[in-house]
Structure 1
Amino acid sequence: MGVSGFIGSKLTEARQARGIASRKALADMLERAASTVTRWEDGTLSPEPSALDDICRVLALPADFFLSERTAASGTQFFRSYASALKSDRAMQGARLLWLMDLAEVAEHYAYLPDVRITRPFAVGGHRALRDEDIEDIAGQVRSDWGVGLKPIVDLLPQMERSGIVIAAETMETVKLDGLSAWDERSGRPFVLLANDKQSYARRQFDAAHELGHIVLHRGLSEEDLVSDFDMIEDQAHKFASALLLPAVQYCLELTDLSLWGLERLKSRWRVSIKAQIMRLRQLNILDREAATKLFKGYSARGYARGEPYDDVWKLQQPSLLADTFNAITGEGGISRQELLANLPFKAHDAESLAVLPSGWFSRSTGHVVQLRDFRPREPGHGRP
């Protein structure tokens, strides 16, 4: 008899999250017929207890994962990716983004996450009606809401986390994906998953700003909109990121030298790559096509495509909201790490990866409460109490 309450869609999700591209591949790993796995996933058949044990072993997940409905309701997922990115890679990271939503839900059971404070643009006609000047204005409004004025945003991730955005960063094992984002429409909270592969400080800044662009500009878009208008939507997020990180008025005031050296100097202040600066200057019509091409040729000749100045100096920034929350829950909150883990829908290694916690964090003791000695000077004649 099959296990009661088994959810076939969760098996599909788990298979994708583990990067197993096909049902046939999973069937081979489980030593079952492909047709059996197909029926498990489409919900016409539930696995027997021994088969569920095998599924849990192969996919490294607890049985509860397959027996619990998800409460999060992901909106359209936006991928910062190359057109050649494999469908299986997108599916894998899309499933990981859902797991990030699950993780945040458990965190919010114990603690308050920052309230969501995201600028909501008003545009008659939706994303198709957005003009370049609208995107510049919206990026400026985000800066105003954050109180950062026109100064450089040296580290964007903490600013986004303070605005209620939950961010994770993982190795995606592909250079064709830079990140993805979506709203959880149930909780009304946005989520971002960034790639650690071949990253630099400046590139992470831009990738995060790009996903923020989707969060701000494209909430409520359908999958059909994304497919039909993919290039437009990606271009809008790109322009938003440029406008947010390099506000036109202040950046142009500081632009005194249109050479690679001059852009390198500005990179050290604005934390935006030389390549992204060239593209921004082209967008603002400060560089014409010929001048931009000349700079890009010099860029390639110096080997900057393999690494720009400062890329090997600046430490890659990481999100910290969930890690800080879990540390507070198991510290000041008095909840044991094992109790916290028991309430998660997956095993420790997935939670540690998504929360950017050290490997083995859940297996470590939270320590003991101790009373410190009082080393303050005592009055003469007063010994040890």
Structure 2
Amino acid sequence: MKTDQPLLPGTTERGVTPRAVHDAFDPARLTQARRLAGMTKKDVAEHLGVTPAAVGQYETGVTKPRPDLLPRLAATLDVPLPFFIAGRPSNRLDSSMAHFRALRSTPKAQRERALAFAEQVWELTYALEKRVQLPPVDLPGFAGGEVHPGVDLPLDPAAAARELRKRWNLGDGPVTHLVRRMEAHGIVVVLPAADEAARTVDAFSSRSPRPVAILTPNRTNDVYRHRFTAAHELGHLVLHGDATGDSRQEREADTFAAEFLTPAASITPLLPRRLDLAQLTGLRRVWGVSVDSLIYRCRELGMISDATASRGYQRLRALDGQPGFTPEPVDGFPGEQPALLAQAYELAEREKGLTIPRLADELGWHPARVRRLLCAPDTRPILRIASHS
């Protein structure tokens, strides 16, 4: 639903006139806003009364929209008029810089929409980080890592998972509060609202310039699937510098996630020698992984045959919804919900006097947009005020 009415020519929004926006028009902002809105160039053209080719020229910088068209353009894309002004920090992403769990089945328009969302996550993070010192990036293998710069993990996914557990001092038991731990090690984790641009893709992560993992809402009805997805994205961040979207990278991220959440040396003695769903359900709660994953782990570790695993999945589907076999929503597990950006804002608000309207003006967004991206529960990493701010 659009929140703004078009301005009349010559009037101002936040003290900015359409003529001033025209003079400082940033073509990349139009592309970002259009992708966030899930619109094609043809869609935008129809709203403006111009040709799709004209919109294409606006986005490439060949020409600029006339001043009288800019208020209508802002209203069409549901952004403030100053959104289009050049000069704000930005981080342009493309598909080679992000890992999508279902790349081939995700339409290009949906990927572009999700990438535009990730760009705005970076912009919000950058604005907050000017005021608040976020946890340093403690992620070996990540090019921008601050704690282990230039230190790579083993190429083998399982070995990399074991090494990261060691470096993060996780011991050999269950990983509790996975999302909170990722944030505490400098990874920005976002769980978009159901109406956000990223909802149309399964999950994805980006390595540049601060690691970001976006965990989409379609998995929040089951905390165990959600945790595996988070570990899967963590695997991409440490293993894969370039996103190819091929099945090999997806398998490697799955292997990493399985070993990170359930190390073979620790889980093997606990797994049943004969398929026992009741026993696996008990392990599910302790280790924070789904029974499906545990059945797969049994087969992967050679404890059951493929046929036995297949029968196990069939029995599991028949028990769906029964006590002990129901999904557990993420909202019942605060440690598995992002909190870093919300806590950073609260600290900047308390110590620096930052307000939502002020932050929105700085970003060129509607205040409601800022609030949506900051929405998070109360589980918080420890942050300090940056000494240079």
Question: Given the two structures, how large is their TM-score scaled by the length of structure 2?
Answer: 0.80
Q: Which runs of 5+ in 2 are unaligned?
A: 1-18, 144-151, 378-389
Q: Distance in 1 between matches of 2:99 and 2:269?
A: 34
The CA deviation at 1:312 is 5.2
Greater gyration radius: 1
- Determine the structure 2 residue equivalent to 1:56: 74
Answer yes or no: is 1:216 the counterpart of 2:238: yes
The RMSD of aligned alpha carbons is: 2.7
Cα pair 2:97 2:208 within 8 Å, conserved:
no
Answer yes or no: is 1:324 the counterpart of 2:343: yes
Cα pair 1:84 1:176 within 8 Å, conserved:
no
Question: Given the two structures, how large is their TM-score scaled by the length of structure 1?
Answer: 0.80
- Aligned equivalent of 1:268, options 276, 285, 294: 285
Q: Distance in 2 between matches of 1:81 and 1:276?
A: 19
Distance 1:26 1:314, change over 3 A: closer
Q: Distance in 1 between matches of 2:280 and 2:310?
A: 15
Cα pair 2:219 2:226 within 8 Å, conserved:
no
- Aligned equivalent of 2:319, options 278, 299, 302: 302
TM alignment of 1:175-214, pairs within 5 A: 177-185=201-209, 189-199=210-220, 200-214=222-236
Q: How many aligned positions are there?
A: 339
Distance 1:115 1:140, change over 3 A: same
Q: Distance in 2 between matches of 1:67 and 1:178?
A: 32
The CA deviation at 1:56 is 1.3
Q: Distance in 1 between matches of 2:25 and 2:90?
A: 16
- Determine the structure 2 residue equivalent to 1:279: 296
CA deviations over 1:190-231 (Å, ceiling 9, x no partner): 011111125221111011111101100012x2x5xx05xx11
Answer yes or no: is 1:145 the counterpart of 2:162: no
- Determine the structure 1 residue equivalent to 2:107: 86
The percentage of aligned residue pairs carrying the same residue is 28
Code of the residue aligned with 1:36 in structure 2: it is A
Q: Distance in 2 between matches of 1:58 and 1:176?
A: 21
Q: Distance in 2 between matches of 1:331 and 1:271?
A: 35
Distance 1:120 1:313, change over 3 A: closer
Q: Which runs of 5+ in 1 are unaligned?
A: 359-385
Code of the residue aligned with 1:146 in structure 2: it is W
Cα pair 1:173 1:197 within 8 Å, conserved:
no
Cα pair 1:167 1:192 within 8 Å, conserved:
yes
- Determine the structure 2 residue equivalent to 1:109: 130
Does 145-154 or 93-102 show the bigger shift? Answer: 145-154
Code of the residue aligned with 2:238 in structure 1: it is V
Cα pair 1:81 1:176 within 8 Å, conserved:
no
Q: Distance in 1 between matches of 2:331 and 2:271?
A: 23
CA deviations over 1:356-375 (Å, ceiling 9, x no partner): 259xxxxxxxxxxxxxxxxx
CA deviations over 1:320-370 (Å, ceiling 9, x no partner): 000001011111333333323322232222222222259xxxxxxxxxxxx
Code of the residue aligned with 1:68 in structure 2: it is A
- Determine the structure 2 residue equivalent to 1:337: 356
